[in-house]
Amino acid sequence: MSARGTVLFVDDDSNLRISIQRALRNESFELLVAEAAPQAFELLERSPIDVVISDQNMPGIKGTDFLAEVRRRWPQSVRMMLTGETEHEVAKRAINDGEIYRFFNKPISAVDLSFGIRSAIDLARLKSASTTALRCLRKQTDRLERLERTNPGIVTVDRNETGAIVVKSDEIPEDFESFMAELALEMERVDKT
C-alpha cells in the first residue's frame, strides 16, 4: 500500500481513461490505468493496489466478473464500478459477487469520483490496520495461552483497593530471575514472528 494510495482504473474507452487521468492528475493518490482485465491483473500482481475501479462493459469480461475475481484474489483492494448501464441486475451482481464499495453511473463528475476514491482509500487503510491489529491480538493471545500452560495462574492479576497488583510470596517462582529471562526471550521470539 502506497503512502499516498494507489488506484487502478480499468476501462476500454481510451478517451475516458485520458479524461480521468487529466481530471485526477492533481490528486494525492497514484492513478494507474488499464484498458482490459488482463492488463489490470498484471498490475494487481505487481504491487498492492488500494482501490480498483472497473467499467461494466469491457471486451472479454464483464466488470462484475472482473471485480468478483479481484475480490477473490486481492480481497484487501476496495472495489468500485463505473457503468453507463442502470440495470438493477448489474448493480445487484456487482454488489453481491464483487462486494463493491461504490457504484457510479456514467457520466460522472471528477469531483464525485475523486471523493469516492478518497473515501475508498480511507476504507482500504482501515481494513489494513484492522487486519494488522487482529494479527497482533492473535499473537498476544497465543503468548498468554502458552504462558498460562507453563505457569498456571500467571495471567490472573490480583489487585488491591488502590489498583496496585498484589503478588503473594508463594506465587513467586523459586528461580524468579530465570523465569523473567525465559519470559523476555519468549516475548522477543513472538515479536519477531
* Mean pLDDT value across residues 98-125: 87
Radius of gyration of the chain (CA): 25
Domains of the chain: residue spans and CATH:
6-130 (3.40.50.2300), 139-192 (no CATH)
Sign of CA dihedral 145, 146, 147, 152: positive
Render pLDDT for 131-144 as a digit per residue (tens, 0 to 9).
889 998 998 888 88
Render pLDDT for 1-53 as a digit per residue (tens, 0 to 9).
556 899 999 999 999 999 999 999 999 899 999 999 999 999 999 999 999 99
Render pLDDT for 154-176 as a digit per residue (tens, 0 to 9).
777 778 888 887 766 666 667 77
Q: Which amino acid appears at position 123 of this protein?
A: L
Burial class (CB in 10 A: 0-12, 13-18, 19+), 174: exposed
Percentage of the chain exceeding pLDDT 90: 40
Residue recorded with cell 488500494: 50
Which runs of E-coded beta strand occur in the chain?
A: 6-10, 30-34, 51-55, 57-58, 61-62, 78-83, 102-105, 158-159, 165-166
Confidence grade of residue 106 (pLDDT, cut at 50, 70, 90): confident
The pTM score is 0.70
Q: What is the DSSP letter of 26?
A: T
